[in-house]
Amino acid sequence: MSPPDLDAFRGQCRAFLEQHAAGSAPYGLEEDPRGGAALTVARDFQHKRFDAGLAGLTIPREYGGQGLGPDHERVWREEAGRYHLMTEELSISLGNCLPVILEFGTDIQKRRHVQAAISGRQVFCQLFSEPEAGSDVASVRTRATPDGDGWRVTGQKVWTTLAHVAEYGIVLARTDPSASKHGGLTMFIVDFHQAGVEIRPIHQIDGGMHFNEVFFDDVVLDADAVIGPVGEGWRVATAMMRHQRVARGTGQASGILHEHADRLIAEARARGRNEDPPLRQELAALYTAEVCRSLVALRTRAALDAGQPPGPGGSLPKLAGALIGARFRDLAFEVVGPEAVAWEADSGGDWARDALFMVSLSISGGTSEIQRNIIGERVLELPREPRSPG
């Protein structure tokens, strides 16, 4: 069957989005602190997208995708970029985990998980971070020991986004303590309904509870829970981090976006502050930064569409997103004034929560310092930072 003509496909995307995405609004943290309601909406939207033949566009048909090329993916992004898509809660599942299953999974794993993930039936989360392993992920202490044909896993993960509502986690664990720090690791797909998995919420400063501590107490896994070769978990993990940075840096949309600047410019107008020259300059700088970030993100996307694997350049839009978040936060206080710190602002802006949330952009998915190291060493090819032994 030949792929649909791009114009016809664009019409199909438009009609679908008009019917299912128009007018959608995100949940506020107050009404949905654990993110469960937002995830249900995301699953439902993704399921409809799958039924309409618009999910997993570039994924092979044998695994439930549409088997189309990057042009169709681009058209979807261009059209979807006009809407708030309600799929933010699926970004780790589809942006970080799914590409790793496609790249490293066995045929059985792909048949088990790919279609279920792209239709929103299975949600995956990422379990790298531990109390003693954040930026230095390879320091993980969670142990997986061989047990018959399978494995037993014991340890603790932390900051696991949406673990409480996900079906599966992709877990980095130490399988050979006698090997080098990076050499003794293996990656696993863990079913969260398994005995011995305990999930406890972490309360965030902005009032949400989207992430968790996850404890594994002698969790029994079959041999086919391993994803990628045993002992090569570091290779799988670094691939996942590259996908994560690209997913974070480029988002789900395509095109030139400047939503933070737009929001503050509208607020400045409403408050009669849009004639203030220094403030205008700051707003223009935020607008410019957002446009530049969009252009870098488009370039990153175009490289992927041209078949290049995700590389260190994904750190550029990721870092830019964190810097824009910080600039937005500071400017919001300037535009709104003291009212912005009120927890239940009657300005309808939720400025205080947003300001606190913006801080997380410089930490989640790898801190800004780590992105700077990657850009310095791997994009600009500057001398390497000293490394911890391992």
- Is 364 a binding residue for ligand FAD by CB under 6 A? The answer is yes
Least separation, in Å, of the C-beta of 164 and ligand FAD? 12
Figure out which of the listed residues 11, 81, 134, 312 binds ligand FAD, where binding follows CB under 6 A.
134
Site membership for ligand FAD, residue 156 (CB under 6 A)? no
Tell me how far apart the alpha carbons of residues 55 and 67 are, in angstroms, rounded to a whole number.
10
Q: Judged by CB under 6 A, does residue 93 bind ligand FAD?
A: no
238 binds ligand FAD (CB under 6 A): no
Compute the least distance from the CB of residue 202 to ligand FAD, in Å. 9
Q: Shortest Cβ distance from residue 61 to ligand FAD (Å)?
A: 30
In whole angstroms, the minimum distance from the beta carbon of 384 to ligand FAD comes to 11
The least CB distance from residue 157 to ligand FAD, in Å, is 6
Which residue's CB is nearer to ligand FAD, number 16 or number 128? 128
Residues touching ligand FAD, count (CB under 6 A): 21
Residue 159: name the closest of 22, 296, 360 by CA: 360
Residue 370 touching ligand FAD (CB under 6 A): yes
Q: Is 126 in the site for ligand FAD (CB under 6 A)?
A: yes
Helix (H) or strand (E) run with residue 152 in it? strand 150-161
Q: Please tell me whether residue 360 binds ligand FAD under the rule CB under 6 A.
A: yes
CB count, 10 Å around CB of 288? 12
Residue numbers 159-188 binding ligand FAD by CB under 6 A? 159-161
Which residues sit opposite 191 in a β-bridge?
A: 168
Q: How many CA atoms lie within 13 A of 225 on its CB side?
A: 27
Q: In angstroms, rounded to a whole number, what is the distance separating the alpha carbons of residues 164 and 36?
A: 9
In DSSP notation, 244-291 reads HHHHHHH-S--S---HHHHHHHHHHHHTT-TT-HHHHHHHHHHHHHHH
Q: Does 315 bind ligand FAD (CB under 6 A)?
A: no
The yes or no reply on residue 358 touching ligand FAD (CB under 6 A) is no
Q: Are 375 and 382 in contact (CB under 8 A)?
A: no
Which is closer to ligand FAD, CB of 283 or CB of 361?
361
Residue keyed to tokens 């086919």: 224
The single residue among 143, 215, 367, 379 that binds ligand FAD, judged by CB under 6 A, is 367
**23 — alpha (psi -120 to 50), left (phi > 0) or beta?**
left
Evaluate whether 67 touches 61 at the Cβ level (below 8 Å).
yes
Interface with ligand FAD (CB under 6 A): 92, 125-129, 134-135, 159-161, 211, 360, 363-364, 366-367, 369-370, 373, 385
